[in-house]
Amino acid sequence: MRMWAQSHLCQKPRRVKSVLAAAFAIVFLLLGASQSASALPAFARKYGLRCSACHESWPMLNYFGQKFKDNGYQIMNDRDAPIWQNPGYWPVTFRITPIWHRVSTNLVPTDQSPTGEQKITSSGFDLSGLDFHTGGTLEKNFSFYVLPSSDATASFHFETVMARLDNIGGSSWFNVKFGKYELDNLLSEKRILTLTGNGGIYQLYHFIPAGDGNVFGQMGDNQLGLELMGHSYNDRTRYSVSLLSSNDGQVGLPYGAESYSTFITASQAFDAGKLGVERLGFYFMGGEAPTSWLTSGGAAIAGSGGNNKGYSREGFVGQFYFGQHADVTVVTQHGSDSAWFGQGYGDLIDGIATQNNTPGTVLPTGAQNPTWNGVLFEPHIVVSPQMILIGRYETIRMSQQSDNGPGANSGEGSTTPVASNLGNISTYTLGYRYNPFMTSRAGFAYHGEYNWFHRDGTAPDGTSNLTSSELLFGIDFDF
């Protein structure tokens, strides 16, 4: 799903990576919300169900909705095959969100301020981008999902394009997905309930240390690759393994044809009696990506990337229910990048990294792998079937900067020391969603949200802390 925050990212991807910190990683155990999900009334129309059959609060999935998704959008009865559908049925859903929001940033470069920076606050009416969902079955155990998505100016791209072979050999343990798709995160960013610019993404899924050139490990972005996924019949046990191009989901091999990454996740659910079904899992994302390119006239040649260097992201996820009205999801992450990425080599094609790892390049004395730890905590309170309260806290802390400063390691060096807290992130989000109705025809929600975001040392002056806040009210609907 690409609502306000996701469309905002499409408009200004560099801002997300530099100003918003581009996301963040984690290493302690969190507790977070039940999994969100893009609502498709088309599925409810096909099976004659209300949207609430699959959604705790659309677009957040409940247990039945997650099982439906894991089965390849099938209930596992005769009505799954398209031959049983009404010829007039068209599996399509549109989603867009008109909003009012107020955005405030503490330090913005201006010519009029005596200090060169000042606080800027703006407010007004706005739109999210448009999502155009279509998915379902082509035949029994052959499923698909296509999502053309636009930003607020109607500039389209393909957010998701995937086909899936389900229950290979009659076993739910073997399902193969191919194309561009969301990674199998237990806490799904594409099904997130929040919509603000900083609160509408999971920061730990996108985190890039200050000055780092590695854009390839962003778990929140849809990726291009091949996935093997399996689950028990009751969906209590799940696993997935993906082989991905190291290009952050971009088409056309812009970086290099010989760099690949992998994403692995597994989880186990267990019955906790009156509390509900709890789930614990882990994930790992790692691989290699280029740090140099061949050039022509000094400009990098797309697809010629080489000198691949490694990175990794790993963590744990817990989804805990406390009866029918409260749940919390916790995600932790530990992240590490090669020292080459830490020194700014990496995303040369997109212009983030300004350096090219040409033959003979030597890292400065004191250069080391940047590492960090993070945690995400997201509780939900289900006041009624129509009303849900949302909260989230994320924090990311650098445990090792890319540069250890003068005298690093060998006692020699001339590099400038890097503050130990440079790039640390803290962010809070509070919100609510009230659904007057969720039917097989359409969904409608009144949405209110506040987000506060803080990152150490990343203001334009290079030393001050960057702080921003956003207040948002909107009407979220699909049909």
Q: How does pLDDT run along the chain (479 residues), one tens digit per residue?
A: 434 343 333 333 333 333 333 333 322 222 233 333 345 666 776 777 766 677 766 677 776 777 777 777 777 776 666 655 565 567 788 899 999 999 999 999 999 888 889 999 999 999 988 998 888 888 888 999 999 999 989 899 999 999 999 999 999 999 999 999 999 998 999 989 999 999 999 999 999 999 999 999 999 999 999 999 999 988 899 999 999 999 999 998 888 878 999 999 999 999 999 999 999 999 999 999 999 999 888 888 988 999 999 999 999 999 999 998 999 999 999 999 999 999 999 988 877 777 888 888 899 988 999 999 999 999 999 999 899 999 999 999 999 999 875 433 333 344 567 899 999 999 999 999 999 987 777 789 999 999 999 999 999 888 899 999 999 999 998 88
Instruction: State the number of CA atoms in the 13 A half-sphere of 102 facing the CB.
Output: 5
Q: Which CATH number fits domain 4-478: 1.20.120.160, 2.40.160.10, 3.40.50.300, 2.40.50.140?
A: 2.40.160.10
- Taking the C-alpha atoms of residue 267 and residue 281, their distance in angstroms, rounded to an integer, is 4
Nearest Cα neighbor of 34 from 404, 310, 241, 326 is 326
Nearest Cα neighbor of 5 from 462, 466, 454, 453 is 453
Which pLDDT belongs to residue 20?
A: 35
Q: How many CB atoms lie within 10 A of CB 159?
A: 27
Which pLDDT belongs to residue 359?
A: 80
Whether this model's pTM surpasses 0.85: no
- Taking the C-alpha atoms of residue 112 and residue 117, their distance in angstroms, rounded to an integer, is 8
Which pLDDT belongs to residue 23?
A: 34
SS3 string of the chain? CCCHHHHHHHHCHHHHHHCCCCCCCCCCCCEECCCECCCCHHHHHHHCCCHHHCEEECCEECHHHHHHHHCCCCCCCHHHCHHHCCCCCCCEEEEECEEEEEEEEEEEECCCCCCCEEEEEEEEEEECCCEEEEEEEEECCEEEEEEEEECCCCCEEEEEEEEEECCHHHCCCCEEEEEEECCCCCCCCCCCCCCCCCCCCCHHHCCCCCCCCCCCCCCCCCEEEEEEEEECCCCCEEEEEEEEECCCCCCCCCCECCCEEEEEEEEEEEECHHHCEEEEEEEEEEEEECCECCEECCEECCCECECCEEEEEEEEEEEEECCCCEEEEEEEEEEEECHHHHCCCCCCCCCCCCCCCCCCCCCCCCECCCEEEEEEEEEEEECCCCEEEEEEEEEEEEEECCECCCCHHHHCCCCCCCCCCCCCEEEEEEEEEEEEEECCCCEEEEEEEEEEEEECCCCCCCCCCEEEEEEEEEEEEEC
Question: Do residues 65 and 38 touch, judged by C-beta distance below 8 A?
Answer: no
Which pLDDT belongs to residue 240?
A: 97
Which pLDDT belongs to residue 284?
A: 98
Q: How many CB atoms lie within 10 A of CB 449?
A: 24
Q: What angle do CA 98, 99, 104 make, to 5 degrees?
A: 150
Which pLDDT belongs to residue 300?
A: 87
